Chain A
Amino acid sequence: MTTRIFIAALAAAPFCHAGTLTDYYSVEDIASPPGVDAQVGGLSVSPSGKLFACFHKGEVRVLDPESKTWSAFADGLHEPLGIYAAGDSEVLVMQRPELTRLRDEDGDGAADVFQTVWDGFGMTGNYHEFAFGPAVDAAGNCWVGLNVASNGASVREEVRGAWNDIGVPRDDFYKNWGKVKGAAGRMYARVPWRGWVVKIDPRTGTAEPWAAGFRSPNGLGFDAAGNLYVTDNQGDWVGTSKLHAVKKGGFYGHAASLIWRDGWTENPLKVGAKELDKIREPAAVLFPQGAMANSPTQPLAIPPGVFGPFAGQLLVGEMNQARIMRVDLEEVGGTMQGMCIPFLDGAPLNRGNNRLAFGKDGSLWVGQTHLSWVGATGIQHIAATGKVPMEILHMKARRDGFEIEFTHPADPAAAADPANYAFQRYRYEYHEAYGSPQKDKAKLAPKNVALSSDGKRVAISLEEDIKEGFVYELTVGKTLQSKDGDALLNRLAFYNVKRAPVK
């Protein structure tokens, strides 16, 4: 008796298939160019479809994706952390000391000219002063991010650029470092434009420092509408890693770079977090430390016709985990905010996902690195199989909860069950200290769940209205599936509420 009922029950329930990454995306390991320490600093696909890559020891190599062969374009650059291939004979590279134009003038396939486009920023020789970019906008301007110095090391005797006297006296950097490194700031910016995002016209070499308040902006990119987005890494003044929508004149949180603002005279470390909080612009998206990302990298908009319904959203690389994230933004109360969710997660994707570039055929090239942190080396090549996974496509805020849209109609039984939507909310503190724990944490149960008639959208009302300044972490239950029986490929999403909607 019991056996027959058991079998009948099994026959009635649709088969719930938990898909894996490779059902939807192929991941191919690409052989690295010979003789190169394959830590990738930059990737760019030229208009002809060739992949330009720059590496840790300063090599620029070009992959012909058809023949799968590498050729040498340049050597000897200083820690290039971004490349833009304007054509097969001309590329722009951001190195530690400068934005450089490399040109092959004699047509032998290798650069002859290494022209300094812009070096009007300071360098103390501190190891942490990396230079990221360029992200190139539709008008051809180059956007770069300048990392601040770390008090894990002092400065060199000869610096490049004007020294800013605000803060610990320069003499103490040489004579008294052990005693003053705390007062210098965990990260500091004593030469021009460190901690700033800068806009450069590569045709004239003129630069416009655009916005301050960055710590380690290892990722600049544009959305489909041409708005600039920049990531930053957890650390001092940064409670958890994040993504900012960057506007001219903005201050994005890290105090050190403020001393380069026109007319600024105070030591920002003495001004304090409470006052600085009043002038800073919070992030559009937060990546909770450990759970989502520990070190986000490049944001890159998904073009149309490439990854199905995800066109227009952003991909963001992550170093610490074998993960590339997806960010879905919406405008609420005049500001951009939204959700992050894993997009490609786990093997066969490697760790160390530092740089991303789309090929002309819509495939995705991923360059990996580690330096002295967690990561990998080499390049992987990813293509959509054509099968669209069951995913949370959009997550939109409502006054009292969220509306989720799926990529496929959901099976109503599980999708309409409030028990399948576990929320918790928490916030991160803005302060000088390194990182922030999750504060004011609370689990929230859905009060009501309403599934649309086509099964694609779920409106979830929570037991309290959503609060500004909080991250809402959603874990969707394992039994939620599409009508075809596909479980969600990624069940964990994080929505950052900068503004609470009024309805």
Chain B
Amino acid sequence: MLPAPLFLALSIGAAGAEFEIRAVEGLQFDPPRIEAKPGEAITIRFKNADPTDQPHNMVVVKPGARAEVVNAALALGADGPAMDFTPDSPAILAKAPVVAPGKAAELALTLPAEKGIYPYVCTFPGHGFVMYGAIYAGVPMPPLDKDENISPLAREAGKKPEATAEKRPQVQRIFMPDASPAAIAVALPGRQNACWDAGHCRLRYAWEGKFIDGTPYWKGNGNGLAKVLGDIYWSSGKLGDAGAGPDAPQFLGYRLRGGLPEFRYRRGGVLFVETLNELPDGIAQIIRAEGAVSPATIPVPGDDRAAITVSAGALKDGALSVSPADLAQGVRLEIRPAK
């Protein structure tokens, strides 16, 4: 998420303002724009804080010259690397070299006396088309979401999020909080939702309300978790690592029935089939297994926020013991928020 616009003037003195502008994830500058006075001598500390291993540079140019300088940088071709991808152009007011991730460089410039919007841009090949911001010198700044002088992503961040209609039922594999990395988010038709863990082959938590917001994961390259948009009323709690050790269950996949998943997994040599149903006031897990020769133990951790009922077997200390006959019929667990 981009922070709110920060005009990070570190100090203002006789020498003029000092700013820190960082290259951040998603080919962005942070802050996306700064304010200074025409004719002012300023210093910019340019830091490459991009966690995705990309080098960046920073070039400050005359008003309106951003596209021209970006194209001139591309035209450097094989000469580009030696020149830090910065062409010899009279439109350039100041420049920082290409800076490796984690490193910083300084730019010092005296802004021209003319009021104007002075773009700063990364001219590393390809970046300049989206990675830019602006110094506003004596010109009023429009609202962030209408500012054409900052990158499209920064403009988007300035917009209020739209309410989008949710598709239900829905199955979405994505990084979910409090689960292994192999997580499956399930939206049932009404207001019930579940996180099912394909690493552990079991239900991790259930919540009521809206589904998930996948933006923190999708907006970049996966460095984030989806956000649960509702009230969790039951959770398995923390578990250890998934899929390690000889007793680890094996996930076999799922079949869609009416848009909802029927999970298949093998545990202790037995093939389990598990589905989730919606109750008016909670969620039901139906777990079935054919050909079990001995009673199975299904983990059903208690949770103070929930009341759990089971259709068969003995539920004690967070584990449900079920006979092979009951397993073949299918055992039904109903989980509801406690009153």
Residues of A within 8 A of B (CB): 37, 56-58, 75-79, 95-98, 100-101, 111-116, 119-120, 122-125, 127-128, 130, 150, 152-153, 156-163, 186, 235, 288-291, 294, 320-321, 351, 371-375, 434, 473, 492
Interface residue SS majority, chain B = loop
Contact A114 B256 (CB under 8 A): yes
Would you give the shortest CB distance from B248 to chain A, in whole angstroms? 9
Instruction: Tell me, yes or no, whether B80 is within 8 Å of chain A by CB.
Output: yes
**CB-CB < 8 A to B172: which residues of A?**
58, 75-76
Name the contact of A159 in the complex, choosing from B51, B54, B181 (C-beta under 8 A).
Answer: B181
Q: Which among A113, A351, A373 has the highest number of chain B CB atoms within 10 Å?
A: A373
A278 to B71, CA, bound (A): 43
Identify which of B236-244, B303-311, B319-327 touches chain A: B236-244
Instruction: Tell me, yes or no, whether B5 is within 8 Å of chain A by CB.
Output: no
Instruction: Tell me, yes or no, whether B189 is within 8 Å of chain A by CB.
Output: no
Contact A76 B170 (CB under 8 A): yes
**CB-CB < 8 A to A75: which residues of B?**
170-172
**CB-CB < 8 A to A160: which residues of B?**
180-182, 199, 241-244
Assuming the A-B contacts A119-B243, A152-B52, A492-B78, are A77 and B173 also in contact, with contact meaning beta carbons closer than 8 angstroms in the complex?
A: yes
Would you give the shortest CB distance from A52 to chain B, in whole angstroms? 18
Contact A152 B51 (CB under 8 A): yes
Which residues of B181-205 have CB atoms within 8 Å of chain A's CB atoms? 181-182, 198-199
Name the contact of B253 in the complex, choosing from A78, A100, A157, A320 (C-beta under 8 A).
Answer: A100
Name the contact of B171 in the complex, choosing from A76, A150, A492 (C-beta under 8 A).
Answer: A76
Assuming the A-B contacts A157-B238, A372-B52, are A127 and B223 also in contact, with contact meaning beta carbons closer than 8 angstroms in the complex?
A: yes
Contact bitstring B114-142, A, C-beta under 8 A = 1, else 0: 00000000000111011000000000000
A125 to B225, CA, bound (A): 9
| The 3 A-B residue pairs with the shortest CB-CB distance in the complex, in nearest-first order | A152-B51, A374-B126, A78-B173
Q: Which among A78, A98, A288, A351 has the highest number of chain B CB atoms within 10 Å?
A: A78
Interface residues on B, range: 35 or more
Name the contact of B27 in the complex, choosing from A163, A186, A235, A373 (C-beta under 8 A).
Answer: A373
A321 to B128, CA, bound (A): 12
A372 to B126, CA, bound (A): 12
Assuming the A-B contacts A112-B255, A160-B199, are A153 and B223 also in contact, with contact meaning beta carbons closer than 8 angstroms in the complex?
A: yes
Q: For chains A and B in complex, what number of residue pairs have CB atoms within 8 angstroms?
A: 160
- A-B CB contact pairs (8 Å), 8 listed: A76-B171, A78-B173, A116-B251, A158-B239, A160-B181, A163-B244, A372-B26, A374-B125
Instruction: Tell me, yes or no, whether B93 is within 8 Å of chain A by CB.
Output: no
**CB-CB < 8 A to A96: which residues of B?**
173, 181, 222
A128 to B220, CA, bound (A): 11
Residues of B within 8 A of A (CB): 25-27, 51-54, 77-78, 80-81, 85, 100-101, 125-127, 129-130, 170-175, 179-182, 198-199, 214, 218, 220-224, 238-245, 251-256, 261
**CB-CB < 8 A to A163: which residues of B?**
241, 244
**CB-CB < 8 A to B53: which residues of A?**
150, 152, 186, 235, 434
**CB-CB < 8 A to A289: which residues of B?**
81
Contact B27 A372 (CB under 8 A): yes
For A375, the closest partner residue in chain B by CB is B126
A95 to B179, CA, bound (A): 18
**CB-CB < 8 A to A111: which residues of B?**
256
Would you give the shortest CB distance from B52 to chain A, in whole angstroms? 5
A375 to B125, CA, bound (A): 11
Contact B255 A434 (CB under 8 A): no
Contact B78 A372 (CB under 8 A): no
Contact A372 B171 (CB under 8 A): no
Assuming the A-B contacts A158-B180, A373-B52, are A115 and B253 also in contact, with contact meaning beta carbons closer than 8 angstroms in the complex?
A: yes
**CB-CB < 8 A to B199: which residues of A?**
97, 123, 158, 160
Assuming the A-B contacts A119-B251, A124-B181, A373-B27, are A158 and B125 also in contact, with contact meaning beta carbons closer than 8 angstroms in the complex?
A: no
Contact B220 A291 (CB under 8 A): no
For B175, the closest partner residue in chain A by CB is A125
Contact A97 B52 (CB under 8 A): no
**CB-CB < 8 A to B224: which residues of A?**
127
Contact A290 B51 (CB under 8 A): no
A58 to B80, CA, bound (A): 37
**CB-CB < 8 A to A123: which residues of B?**
180-182, 199
**CB-CB < 8 A to B51: which residues of A?**
150, 152-153
Would you give the shortest CB distance from B4 to chain A, in whole angstroms? 21
Contact A371 B221 (CB under 8 A): yes
**CB-CB < 8 A to A372: which residues of B?**
25-27, 52, 220-221
Would you give the shortest CB distance from A436 to chain B, in whole angstroms? 11
Contact B241 A115 (CB under 8 A): no
Contact A58 B52 (CB under 8 A): no
**CB-CB < 8 A to A153: which residues of B?**
51, 223
Contact B77 A291 (CB under 8 A): yes
Contact A158 B173 (CB under 8 A): no
A375 to B85, CA, bound (A): 18
Contact B256 A112 (CB under 8 A): yes
A97-B199, A152-B52 given. 14 additional CB < 8 A pairs?
A79-B222, A96-B181, A97-B181, A113-B254, A114-B255, A116-B198, A116-B252, A119-B182, A152-B53, A158-B238, A160-B199, A161-B244, A186-B53, A373-B27
**CB-CB < 8 A to B26: which residues of A?**
372
A115 to B214, CA, bound (A): 23
Contact A291 B78 (CB under 8 A): yes
A150 to B220, CA, bound (A): 15
Would you give the shortest CB distance from A125 to chain B, in whole angstroms? 4
Contact A97 B27 (CB under 8 A): no
**CB-CB < 8 A to A127: which residues of B?**
220-224
Name the contact of B182 in the complex, choosing from A97, A115, A321, A473 (C-beta under 8 A).
Answer: A97
Would you give the shortest CB distance from A132 to chain B, in whole angstroms? 14
**CB-CB < 8 A to B239: which residues of A?**
158
Contact B214 A57 (CB under 8 A): yes
For B240, the closest partner residue in chain A by CB is A158
A152 to B221, CA, bound (A): 12
For B128, the closest partner residue in chain A by CB is A374
A154 to B217, CA, bound (A): 15
Contact A113 B255 (CB under 8 A): yes
**CB-CB < 8 A to A130: which residues of B?**
222
Contact B241 A320 (CB under 8 A): no
For A74, the closest partner residue in chain B by CB is B256
